[in-house]
């Protein structure tokens, strides 16, 4: 019998206003000094203040590191580490999207594994010895699921690559999915992060390492995201936002344990080289890559259509299954305002061999259900151009 391993948070909270549990969780666990990790925009518009106000009201000491950048580079993590040491924090509270939570994870790991302070050594499947400094994560976007995964992504500007760090020692001890924090997202971010979550769910459902538990999570996430994203983005419907927020978390429980595929391998390069927002890159590439993967994953696609999208695809041919799934994905992207192509990211056709070389080395590539060559990557970038 095969042995399946699953890693999840110790504790998670969901719902509007769920951040109210934060002070109690901090106090009952005995933490004394908090480093709040967030980005400048959330800090300036007062979203992170909704969290720090709770710390003030409960006399919990904290400092705020609000210099997180999109696609956070190594230097960003190092600045956060310096502040964490300076204030003597014993807990990190991450408030933000994937960039903030990923930066918090990098800080967390190096704080307890000083031998890995170069950051570069954390790339790939990591073998750190010590569990990271504890993190409580409060996502403000409904996409990355970084609050429940064992992954984080840091950009190495020198090599122009995104390092996908995989480490059980980085998973937050508590995830607080407060959809009130998500409701303030601009439409463009709500759309791209929502499509990021759908990408996680679909890639997680078809990845080579998929299993009964992971597919259970992935399918439920597909249902929640697909049927609610349009209303969440275009109408700011709170119940739809709640469902997408839950769906992206559930998707994270699946893919964190079985990996992803080449949508992410390709998207990581657009982010590293052109600073393309990660969710947008995934949304641009998802239909094209699914058309490619459909040659081996069409039966999984059939189940996605039937169970996830409510399409009666039982008697569809392989070609009809692939065509319908890709059209449904593209249609949803367009309905939430995503119409860009790879060309719009700043990429040039002469860049494709370079991007393909980097994608061949990406840690998400081995999980793809269909084998892929450098030439395949070049052709996929060209098709999505």
Q: Decide if 6 is inside a domain.
A: no
- Once rounded to an integer, what is the mean pLDDT over residues 207-230? 97
Q: Decide if 132 is inside a domain.
A: yes
Q: Length of the chain, please?
A: 385
pLDDT interval class at 5 (50, 70, 90): confident
Are residues 219 and 330 part of one domain?
Answer: yes
Are residues 17 and 100 part of one domain?
Answer: yes
Q: Which of 134, 153, 182 is the last residue of a domain?
A: 182
What digits encode the pLDDT tens for the residues 243-277? 999 999 999 999 999 999 999 999 999 999 999 99
* Contact present, 244 and 194 (Cβ < 8 Å): yes
pLDDT interval class at 371 (50, 70, 90): very high
Please spell the DSSP secondary structure of 133-153, one letter per residue: SPEEEEESSSS--TTT-SEEE
Domain total of the chain: 2
Helix, strand, coil share (%) of the chain residues, nearest 5: 60, 15, 30
Cα–Cα distance measured from residue 363 to residue 277, given in angstroms and rounded to the nearest whole number? 19
Residue 1 clears pLDDT 80, i.e. is over it: no
What number of other Cβ atoms are within 10 A of residue 253's Cβ?
Answer: 24
Bridge-based pairing state of the strands 161-166 and 151-156: antiparallel
Q: Decide if 2 is inside a domain.
A: no
Residue 9: the pLDDT is: 86
Are residues 174 and 203 part of one domain?
Answer: no
List the domain range (segments joined by +) for residue 88.
11-182
Residue 325 clears pLDDT 80, i.e. is over it: yes
Q: Report the mean per-residue pLDDT for the chain.
A: 95
Are residues 317 and 197 part of one domain?
Answer: yes
What digits encode the pLDDT tens for the residues 134-173? 999 999 998 889 999 999 999 999 888 889 999 999 999 9
- Once rounded to an integer, what is the mean pLDDT over residues 184-195? 92
Name 76's Cβ contacts closer than 8 Å, sequence gap at least 6.
Answer: 67, 68, 69, 103, 154
Q: Decide if 3 is inside a domain.
A: no
Cα–Cα distance measured from residue 106 to residue 123, given in angstroms and rounded to the nearest whole number? 11
Residue 87: the pLDDT is: 97
* Contact present, 149 and 217 (Cβ < 8 Å): no
Q: Decide if 166 is inside a domain.
A: yes
Are residues 218 and 148 part of one domain?
Answer: no
What digits encode the pLDDT tens for the residues 103-138? 999 999 999 999 999 999 998 888 899 999 999 999
Are residues 194 and 161 part of one domain?
Answer: no
Which tokens is 71 given?
Answer: 């696609």
């Amino acid at each position: 019998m095969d042995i399946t391993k699953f890693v999840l948070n110790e504790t998670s909270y969901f719902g509007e206003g769920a951040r109210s549990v934060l002070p109690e969780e901090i106090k009952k666990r005995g933490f004394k000094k908090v480093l709040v990790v967030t980005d400048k925009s959330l800090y300036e518009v007062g979203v992170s203040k909704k969290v720090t106000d709770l710390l003030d009201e409960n006399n919990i000491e904290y400092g705020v590191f609000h210099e997180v950048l999109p696609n956070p580079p190594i230097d960003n993590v190092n600045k956060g580490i310096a502040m964490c040491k300076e204030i003597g924090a014993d807990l990190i509270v991450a408030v933000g999207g994937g960039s903030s939570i990923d930066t918090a994870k990098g800080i967390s790991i190096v704080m307890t594994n000083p031998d890995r302070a170069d950051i570069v050594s954390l790339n790939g499947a990591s073998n750190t010895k010590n569990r990271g400094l504890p993190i409580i994560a409060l996502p403000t976007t409904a996409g990355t699921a970084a609050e429940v995964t064992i992954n984080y992504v840091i950009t190495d500007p020198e090599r122009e690559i995104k390092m996908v760090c995989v480490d059980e020692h980085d998973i937050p001890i508590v995830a607080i999915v407060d959809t009130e924090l998500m409701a303030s997202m601009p439409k463009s971010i709500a759309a791209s992060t929502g499509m990021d979550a759908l990408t996680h769910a679909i890639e997680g459902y078809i990845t080579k390492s998929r299993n009964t538990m992971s597919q259970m999570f992935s399918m439920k996430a597909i249902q929640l995201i697909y049927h609610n994203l349009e209303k969440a983005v275009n109408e700011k419907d709170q119940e739809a936002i709640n469902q997408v927020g839950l769906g992206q978390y559930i998707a994270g429980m699946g893919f964190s344990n079985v990996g992803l595929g080449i949508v992410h391998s390709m998207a990581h390069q657009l982010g590293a080289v052109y600073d393309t927002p990660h969710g947008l890159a995934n949304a641009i590439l998802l239909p094209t890559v699914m058309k490619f993967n459909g040659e081996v994953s069409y039966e999984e696609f059939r189940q996605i259509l039937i169970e996830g999208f409510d399409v009666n695809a039982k008697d569809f041919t392989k070609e009809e299954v692939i065509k319908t799934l890709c059209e449904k994905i593209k249609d949803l992207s367009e309905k939430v305002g995503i119409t860009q192509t790879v060309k719009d990211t700043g990429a040039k056709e002469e860049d494709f061999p370079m991007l393909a070389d980097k994608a061949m080395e990406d840690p998400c590539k081995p999980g793809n259900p269909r084998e892929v060559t450098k030439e395949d990557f070049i052709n996929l970038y060209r098709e999505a151009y």
